[in-house]
Amino acid sequence: MINVLLFLLFIKCKLTLKPPYEKASNSDCNLFCSKCFFQIEPPREYISDAERAIIEGNYVYNTAGIDVKPEFPGGKEAMDSFIKQNFKSPKEGLKGKVYAMFIIEKDGSLSDIKILRDIGYETVAEAIRVIKLFPKWSPGKLNNKTVRALYSIPMVIN
């Protein structure tokens, strides 16, 4: 019985709907509902976090999606030699790779440093210390505009 009443309410509300974006009045749907919940609402002005970040200019781009990739001063070889000179191994004979990820800001500075994989023996703290010593990078560009870019590197430890 209740199902039949709900079905009739549904049919009544469907028949009294006005054209899109126009609300049905209380007299149109005078059963026990004050608002017809089947009516079409106008689209809301919603901006997602990603769209807001793009509008505000602080979106972080993946290096694969930008025109000019960020670069360490002197290139990859200079970065590898910088790491080799400054990384102090906490244990003798330790070999392997520490994978790091960070954001290169519009001014070339680094932020949000994270270690994705390490080889143990407190290499996380040492890798973060060395990355904080990096000089300013040349930032990435998209459509001739400098952008923030996410960058990952393997740090070879010998």
Q: How many residues does the chain have?
A: 158
Average pLDDT, the chain: 76
Q: What are the pLDDT digits (tens) for 97-126?
A: 889 999 999 999 998 899 888 887 888 888
* First and final C-alpha spacing in the chain: 79
Is pTM beyond 0.85? Reply is: no
Confidence band, pLDDT 50/70/90 cuts, at residue 17:
very low
Q: What are the pLDDT digits (tens) for 70-82?
A: 999 988 999 989 9
Distance CA 68, CA 63 (A): 8
pLDDT: which is higher, 91 or 26: 91
Structure tokens at 155: 């740090």
Alpha carbons within 13 angstroms on the beta-carbon side of residue 110 total 21
